[in-house]
Structure 1
Amino acid sequence: MNQELIKHANVLIIDDQALAQVFLKQSLEKLGFDKIMVAESAKHALRLAEEHQFNVIICSFNLSRDKDGYQLFEELKAKGAIKLTTTFIFTSAETDAALVNSVVELQPDDFLAKPFTAKELSDRLRRVLTRKHTLTKVYRALEQNNYAAVLEQVDTLLMDPKAANLYPLLMRIKGDALLASQQYQQAAQFYYEIITLQKFTWAMVGLAKAYLGLDKEDAAINILEKLVAKPQTRLAALDLLGQYYIQHDEYELAYQKLQNASELSPRNIDRHKSVVQLARLVHDHSGQYNAAKAMLKYAKRSFHETADLYLTVARSGIDYALTLPEQESAVIVRQSEKFLEALKDQFPSSAENKDKISIVQARIHYLKDEESKAKQLVSNILEHEESGNLEDYIDKAKAFHELGYQDQAIHLLENIHQQYNEDNTVNDKVLAAYLTQEKSEKTEIPFTPRQLNNIAVQLYGKKQYPAAIQAFADALRLMPKNVRIALNMLQALVDQMVRTALDEQQTKLYNSAISIISQQNLPHDQQTRYEKLLERSAQAKERHNQIDQT
């Protein structure tokens, strides 16, 4: 190993196991490293990183005292303690798929599965340190986003026979630089030439990106759909497909792709946020709640853990509870209350959360049929000057709407929609779409999903079938995946069909209900009910046909 590289290297070992610390330190000392520091926790490592600049960091992925290795890596990188020239190696006794996918997303320089020998450590370090030294100028240009300099340095190294072992990495860096500098035509040609020689998976992903940049969408999607089937490229392909479908307003498809990506690599908080927003937009409130809980689970103890994350889970729980029968709703409400209590425990002195918490508590009181308590909490906030982020505004509008303050809810949504559009501060396409959807639905439908279903059931009981059908249709608009409501609407439609033929709009609702129900695995009682309704509708259609023929 190059002793000059070792001589000047500051090394940090991060491991909470004493034996591992001793093994790593002794192994490194035998290689010639003498500037070695040891941290037994993430908190200790962060403190040392503030005081020293490390060239080599060897970190256990499975830290357990405060943050884990994934969370520590994210924070060290965010604080500038890990640069492209820094050598960072993860160690772990676990090698399950979710962990490996998480590590790949972080892009450390190497990963050593425990147990490993001193020789394995030496070989990995030698390779990484030599690579870092050779690519120093390239990495510095990348950190400055100077892609012209990156391309110049890479082309020089590609002409150097001494760097032959780095050619695949250099070509990958060149492709990334062409994409980053939006030279899509050159990038497409570059990747195509590589693939004709050897079908590197990274080159296939790069070619798909280049085609997207050139608006050759069919070619890009064709590549990505093939890459989804390959384990080594599935995650990257799902992410690209998700972003593509968002840009084309195909939110249901985007949701499916990013939801699958989150299952593959569950530690990515930003992806969870996208899944939460998409689930909400497509009215999958169960998926929204589960994604919000997963996001908080992996954010705990990390620098992602904020009061807003706890609020997101509580709010998602309330949105979900509003779509459920009373008994099931009560369970989710209790869980939302626990998340709210956890927020208060974690952020006890945060005055800015007071109104946000009051709004969530008011929505909980509404779900518990404690409307007077809910209105008492909201009454003071009605007069407050608008403040907070977009999510706070949306939640406040929901509370106003649920408690019957429809004018205030619509006024608030219209104001923030106008304000955010004028300021161009809604850069998140999904969030902007959701705000537009909320304004439209709250304006056109003055009831909550639970209220609509109750109204529809009452109308059905009075045999006012057309009005019941419309109420069920409104409820289904807010809960398009709700089989129970779809079955109720189908029941009303069939009863109407027995009386008279359905009109054009009712026929569309009939087909929509069939589509929703047929895509689900129904429990036995619902399946039996569904089959009886289909039998009755077939008999009614036959009768109408006979009447038409006569």
Structure 2
Amino acid sequence: MSYKTLENLRVLIVDDQRPFQLLLKGILYSMGATNIAFVMTGEQALWKCMHGSYDVLFVDYNLGSGKNGRQLLEDLREKKLLHPAAVYMIVTGENQVPMVVGAIEAEPDDYIIKPFSQSVLRTRLVKIQNRKKQLAPIYQAMFDDQPELVIEACKQEREQAGRYHSLCGRIQAETHLKLKQYDEAEALLSETLSFSRTNWALLLQARLCFEQGRFEESLELCNEAIDTNRYFAEAFDLKARNLLAQGLMAEAMEVISQAIVISPFSISRQNLLMDIARDMDDVASLVQASKQIYEITRRAARQEVVHLLNYIRTVIDAASRSEDLNQRNKYQQEALLAIHRAKREDTVIRDFDFELFETLCQARLESLSGQQYLAKKTYATVSDRVAAQMAPQIDPDNPDEIPPIPHCAADAVLLLNQIGEFEQASALTQNLNKVNGAIDPILQKLFSEQQNRSLSRQASFNELNKQGIQFYKESNYEQALLCFEQALEVAPMNTGSALNFIQTAIQMMADPKRKKPLELVEKCRKTFRVVDNMPLPEHHKVRHQELLQQFNKLKEEKRYSR
């Protein structure tokens, strides 16, 4: 390798400290670099790479409030902006375990901690360049997403028994697992482990055992890997999955919590924490993991709004489950703050009807504060827009493309169930199930959990409403009215039960043999508020108009007294 390591190569320095830019520039000039570009943020670096190709990138881990070095690397890979021979080196002053492990897990070509000498940088860079050159066919096949070619190139390199024999074995084994070629993976890993108990082989063999349901064997391998390296976060992850698969929730939570302390910046790790926390009904951990996923992805390439929505949904769900008033208020405030923050930083929500989502969240929070009527009234202002989401427009240029799931319609279901409009929630859910595509897994779990928690409430409501209808058919209006009144205590905003109450009250008021106390009239008038000016299914709308006419006629005739 020539002394002029960087001669004729395009170099990009991404660092928000001008003095270090100049220092690194001097070092790189001595290594032959003459084509050097500088940017101070991850966003600027991404733009540069979208408009030109770079051979070597030196990227600081912390880049202010924007993308960090790990997120930039993920962006560049996602968008295929790093050619196979390019070198990506994270250069940073961070030496804390979470930062270091988090950066290493992203698998840059190297990670070097400031301060460093020129000779150290040159040695590390030359080493990477030699590897990239020797394994060029493998890196090219990986870049082109051609796993079979990756395996073939790895086999050819391993046959030469060169210095990259172990690395190629790891890449080949990972590719076999990706393709679910378990026999081939096991043969290769068994051979490797018979010579050396390397951590990568232990982890891949543990993964293989886990995917085949051999949990005890997988656990033993995870423990061996952790004993070798106590910062091996991926081994902790897999150990937690094994424990979870065996129903050992508390043990799984302890292990995944250790992994989070070591490296909290993995989305899959935070999702695993959410799964375990949900099974253990650990609301605080559930909220924290959801927030962390949003923070991780907020500056990433896939700035999917779903992570923000799920964070806010999870916080509101936590508020609904909290029996402590102060804790409930805390979660409600957290949801409001998250909404206001998202509106200030509109990058993620730019192509999403966030105003509609915000209104539905507002209604859910109003309901949690005991303002059931206000919650239903708030929903009435956007019900037409929710209905419109159920008929997604097909892109004429891409008629075969699956329309996106109408997120806000799902939030409307959560709201309707919360305020006791079970019939409307059920109808909307059925329509949602007809939409192509799949509802986000976290949202689906929120659906299921809400449904499970409200089963007894719905059963109580349905029984009271059913008894009321039976009493009404038997002309036992006093008992019918009592049942409908109790049903409304369970679900105060339920349209069907409100109309049943009104219909029964009108029957009692219209009977000339009965006394018609003004208290009954007032109750009837208040119950009308549940349905007046509200979005109603057609059959309820017709019934509401008929009952309103009957009630007004009775009032005009003054056929009631104290």
The TM-score normalised by the length of structure 1 is 0.72
2:208 is aligned, of 201, 210, 218, to 210
Check the 8 A contact 1:87/1:109 in 2, yes or no: yes
Give yes or no for the alignment of 1:284 onto 2:285.
no
Per-residue CA distance 1:335-363 (angstroms, 9 max, x = gap)? 22121211222238666122211110011
| Gap runs ≥5 in structure 2 | 391-403, 461-562
* Alpha-carbon shift at residue 35 of structure 1 (Å): 2.4
Per-residue CA distance 1:271-310 (angstroms, 9 max, x = gap)? 4345446534653222222222223334444445554444
* Alpha-carbon shift at residue 442 of structure 1 (Å): 3.3
Query: Which secondary structure does the structure 1 equivalent of 2:458 belong to?
Result: coil
Matched residue type, 1:358: T
Per-residue CA distance 1:319-342 (angstroms, 9 max, x = gap)? 222213223322322222121211
Number of the residue aligned with 2:457 = 445
Matched residue type, 2:344: D
Per-residue CA distance 1:433-474 (angstroms, 9 max, x = gap)? 5544444443443399xxxxxxxxxxxxxxxxxxxxxxxxxx
When the two structures are aligned, how many residues end up with a matched partner? 443
Per-residue CA distance 1:387-426 (angstroms, 9 max, x = gap)? 474764443222112212122233334543x437xx5635
* Alpha-carbon shift at residue 270 of structure 1 (Å): 4.5
- Worse overlay, 51-60 or 435-444: 435-444
Query: Which secondary structure does the structure 1 equivalent of 2:12 belong to?
Result: strand
Number of the residue aligned with 1:345 = 344
Q: In 2, distance between residues paired with 1:254 and 1:80?
A: 36
Matched residue type, 2:92: S
Q: In 1, distance between residues paired with 2:438 and 2:247?
A: 19
1:425 is aligned, of 438, 442, 455, to 438
The TM-score normalised by the length of structure 2 is 0.70
Check the 8 A contact 2:244/2:276 in 1, yes or no: no
1:402 is aligned, of 396, 414, 418, to 418
Per-residue CA distance 1:111-169 (angstroms, 9 max, x = gap)? 111000111110000000011011101111222333333333223323436xx322221
Give yes or no for the alignment of 1:35 onto 2:35.
yes
Per-residue CA distance 1:2-33 (angstroms, 9 max, x = gap)? 47974442211111222221222221221222
Check the 8 A contact 2:274/2:286 in 1, yes or no: yes
Number of the residue aligned with 1:112 = 112
Q: In 1, distance between residues paired with 2:117 and 2:444?
A: 53
Check the 8 A contact 1:262/1:272 in 2, yes or no: yes
Residue 286 to residue 213, structure 1, CA distance change in 2 (3 Å): closer
Residue 355 to residue 254, structure 1, CA distance change in 2 (3 Å): farther
Number of the residue aligned with 1:78 = 78
Residue 84 to residue 351, structure 1, CA distance change in 2 (3 Å): closer
Q: In 2, distance between residues paired with 1:289 and 1:130?
A: 46
Give yes or no for the alignment of 1:364 onto 2:365.
yes
Number of the residue aligned with 1:468 = none
Check the 8 A contact 1:142/1:150 in 2, yes or no: yes
Q: In 1, distance between residues paired with 2:332 and 2:280?
A: 22
Query: Which secondary structure does the structure 2 equivalent of 1:145 belong to?
Result: coil
Q: In 2, distance between residues paired with 1:351 and 1:213?
A: 37
Q: In 2, distance between residues paired with 1:311 and 1:433?
A: 14
Residue 327 to residue 293, structure 1, CA distance change in 2 (3 Å): same
Q: In 1, distance between residues paired with 2:92 and 2:439?
A: 40
Matched residue type, 1:372: Y
Per-residue CA distance 1:168-209 (angstroms, 9 max, x = gap)? 212222222332333211221221222121110111111122
Q: In 1, distance between residues paired with 2:157 and 2:304?
A: 45
- Worse overlay, 270-279 or 27-36: 270-279
Residue 48 to residue 382, structure 1, CA distance change in 2 (3 Å): closer
Q: In 2, distance between residues paired with 1:241 and 1:391?
A: 34
- Worse overlay, 289-298 or 3-12: 3-12
Which has the larger helix fraction? 1
Q: In 2, distance between residues paired with 1:195 and 1:316?
A: 43
Check the 8 A contact 1:11/1:55 in 2, yes or no: yes
Q: In 2, distance between residues paired with 1:80 and 1:11?
A: 18
Matched residue type, 1:57: L
Number of the residue aligned with 1:327 = 326
Matched residue type, 1:81: L
- Worse overlay, 398-407 or 342-351: 342-351
Check the 8 A contact 1:410/1:442 in 2, yes or no: no
Number of the residue aligned with 2:295 = 297
Alignment of 1:139-538 (within 5 A): 139-160=139-160, 164-231=162-229, 234-242=232-240, 258-276=256-274, 279-280=277-278, 282-305=280-303, 307-322=305-320, 323-347=322-346, 352-383=353-384, 384-385=386-387, 386-387=389-390, 389=405, 392-416=408-432, 418-419=433-434, 425=438, 428=441, 432=444, 435-446=447-458
Residue 357 to residue 245, structure 1, CA distance change in 2 (3 Å): farther
Q: In 2, distance between residues paired with 1:392 and 1:238?
A: 36
- Worse overlay, 111-120 or 219-228: 219-228
Residue 371 to residue 331, structure 1, CA distance change in 2 (3 Å): same
Q: In 2, distance between residues paired with 1:238 and 1:432?
A: 27
Check the 8 A contact 1:77/1:83 in 2, yes or no: no
Q: In 2, distance between residues paired with 1:17 and 1:444?
A: 60
Residue 127 to residue 195, structure 1, CA distance change in 2 (3 Å): same
- Worse overlay, 383-392 or 23-32: 383-392
Query: Which secondary structure does the structure 2 equivalent of 1:165 belong to?
Result: coil
Check the 8 A contact 2:6/2:28 in 1, yes or no: no
* Alpha-carbon shift at residue 218 of structure 1 (Å): 3.3
Query: Which secondary structure does the structure 1 equivalent of 2:16 belong to?
Result: coil
Matched residue type, 2:11: V
Number of the residue aligned with 1:453 = none
Q: In 2, distance between residues paired with 1:228 and 1:16?
A: 36
Query: Which secondary structure does the structure 2 equivalent of 1:38 belong to?
Result: strand
Q: In 2, distance between residues paired with 1:153 and 1:31?
A: 32
Q: In 2, distance between residues paired with 1:309 and 1:426?
A: 13
Q: In 2, distance between residues paired with 1:424 and 1:414?
A: 14
Check the 8 A contact 1:172/1:203 in 2, yes or no: yes
* Alpha-carbon shift at residue 259 of structure 1 (Å): 4.8
In our comparison, the structure showing a higher alpha carbon Rg is 2
